[in-house]
Structure 1
Amino acid sequence: MPQTIPLVQHLFRRLRQLNCHSIHGVPGDFFLRALDHIRPSGLNWIGNANELCAGYAADGYARAASQLRRHRSAPSPLVGALMTTYGVGELSAINAVAGSYSEHVPVVHLVGTPSRKAMREPGVRRPVHHTLGDGRAEVYAEMAKHVTCAQACLHRIKNTTEAAEAYDEVLERAVRASLPVYVSLGSDMVELPVPEDLLYKPLKLEPPKNDKSAEERVVHRILEMLQKSHAPLIIADGMSYPFDLQSEINELVSLTNIPTMSFTSGKGLVDESSPSWSPALPNTTDYSRGADLVMIFGPLLSDTNTARWATIPATDNTILFDQDSVELPGSVTELVKSKQVLRGLIDRLKDVKFGQRADVGVLNLTQSPQEVAVPSSSDPITQDSLWPTLSSFLKPEDTLLLANGTPLIGGRSLQLQPRSQVIASPIWNAIGSMLPSAQGIAAAKRNHQLPGRTILLEGDGSFQVTCQAISDIIRYKLDVTVFIANNAGYTYERWLNGMDAEYNDVPSWRYTEAARFFGAKDNDPSYPILARRVDTWGQLQDVLADEKVGDGKGLKIIDVVMDPKDVPEASKPGLSRASEALRSA
Structure 2
Amino acid sequence: MGKHIPFAQYLFRRLTQLHCHSLHGVPGDFFLRALDHIPQSGLRWIGNASELCAGYAADGYARVGSQLLRHKPGLRSGSSPIVGALMTTYGVGELSATNAVAGAYAESVPVVHFVGTPSRKAMWGDNKLPVHHTLGDGRMNVYAEMAKSISCSRALLYKYDDITTAAELYDEALQMAVIQSKPVYVGVASDMFEQPVLEDMLEKPLDTKPPLSNWRSEDTVLDVLLDKLRTSRRPLIIADGLSYHFDFQSEINALVSLTGIPSMCFTFGKGVIDESLPTWDPALPNTTEYSQNADLVLIFGPVLGDTNTAGWSAIPDVQNTFLFNLDSVAVSGHVVPNVRSRTLLQRLLMRLKEENVVRKPKFERTQRDAPRKAPSANSTILQDDLWPALSDFVKPEDTLLLANGTPLVGGRAIQLKSGCQVIASPIWNAIGSMLPAAQGVALAKRDHQLPGRTILLEGDGSFQVTAQSISDIIRYKLDVTIFIANNAGYTYERWLNGMHAEYNDVPAWRYTDAPRFFGVKEDDPTYPTLGRRVQTWGELQEVLHDDRVGDGKGLKIIDIVLDPEDVPEKAKPGLARASNALRTT
Distance in 1 separating the partners of 2:507 and 2:259: 52
Matched residue, 1:302: 305
Listed as ranges, the matches of 1:34-433 within 5 Å are 34-73=34-73, 78-121=82-125, 126-281=129-284, 284=287, 286-329=289-332, 331=334, 333-354=336-357, 356-361=359-364, 366=366, 369=369, 372-433=372-433
Distance in 1 separating the partners of 2:361 and 2:531: 49
Is 2:285–2:316's contact at 8 Å kept on the other side of the alignment? no
CA offsets 1:298-331 (integer angstroms, 9 cap, x no match): 0111000000000100111111111111111262
CA offsets 1:417-454 (integer angstroms, 9 cap, x no match): 00000000010000000000000011111111011000
Is 2:286–2:315's contact at 8 Å kept on the other side of the alignment? no
CA offsets 1:431-479 (integer angstroms, 9 cap, x no match): 0000000000111111110110000000000000000000000000000
CA offsets 1:480-534 (integer angstroms, 9 cap, x no match): 0000000000001101100000000000000010000001011000000010000
Pick which of 311-320 and 458-467 moved more.
Answer: 311-320
Displacement of 1:264? 1.0
What is the TM-score normalised by the length of structure 2? 0.97
Is 1:235–1:295's contact at 8 Å kept on the other side of the alignment? yes
Q: For residue 69 of structure 2, what is the amino acid of its counterpart? A: R
Structure 1's unaligned 5+ residue stretches are none
SS in 2 for 1:560: strand
Is 1:79–1:175's contact at 8 Å kept on the other side of the alignment? yes
SS in 1 for 2:540: helix
Is 1:218–1:334's contact at 8 Å kept on the other side of the alignment? no
Q: For residue 535 of structure 2, what is the amino acid of its counterpart? A: D
Displacement of 1:283? 6.9
Q: For residue 339 of structure 2, what is the amino acid of its counterpart? A: V
CA offsets 1:43-89 (integer angstroms, 9 cap, x no match): 00000000000000000000113134134347695200000000000
CA 1:507–1:330 in structure 2 vs 1: closer, same or farther (change >3 Å)?
A: closer
What is the TM-score normalised by the length of structure 1? 0.97
Distance in 2 separating the partners of 1:258 and 1:493: 37
SS in 2 for 1:83: strand
CA 1:10–1:403 in structure 2 vs 1: closer, same or farther (change >3 Å)?
A: same
Is 2:230–2:359's contact at 8 Å kept on the other side of the alignment? no
Displacement of 1:372? 2.6
Is 2:285–2:291's contact at 8 Å kept on the other side of the alignment? no
Distance in 1 separating the partners of 2:81 and 2:525: 30
Distance in 2 separating the partners of 1:133 and 1:121: 15
Equivalences, count: 581
Is 1:283–1:573's contact at 8 Å kept on the other side of the alignment? no
Displacement of 1:332? 5.0
Displacement of 1:291? 1.2
Q: For residue 393 of structure 2, what is the amino acid of its counterpart? A: F
Distance in 2 separating the partners of 1:161 and 1:72: 33
CA 1:332–1:463 in structure 2 vs 1: closer, same or farther (change >3 Å)?
A: closer
Structure 2's unaligned 5+ residue stretches are none
CA offsets 1:367-413 (integer angstroms, 9 cap, x no match): 67367322000000011000000011000000000000010000011
Distance in 1 separating the partners of 2:186 and 2:456: 31
CA 1:546–1:368 in structure 2 vs 1: closer, same or farther (change >3 Å)?
A: closer
Listed as ranges, the matches of 1:568-583 within 5 Å are 568-583=568-583
Aligned-residue identity in percent: 67
Q: For residue 242 of structure 1, what is the amino acid of its counterpart? A: H
SS in 2 for 1:241: helix
Displacement of 1:360? 2.5
Q: CA RMSD in A?
A: 1.5
Is 1:123–1:135's contact at 8 Å kept on the other side of the alignment? no
SS in 1 for 2:427: coil
Is 1:264–1:280's contact at 8 Å kept on the other side of the alignment? no
Q: For residue 480 of structure 1, what is the amino acid of its counterpart? A: V
Q: For residue 101 of structure 1, what is the amino acid of its counterpart? A: Y
Matched residue, 2:474: 474
SS in 1 for 2:113: strand
Distance in 1 separating the partners of 2:249 and 2:368: 29
Q: For residue 93 of structure 2, what is the amino acid of its counterpart? A: G
Distance in 2 separating the partners of 1:148 and 1:472: 26
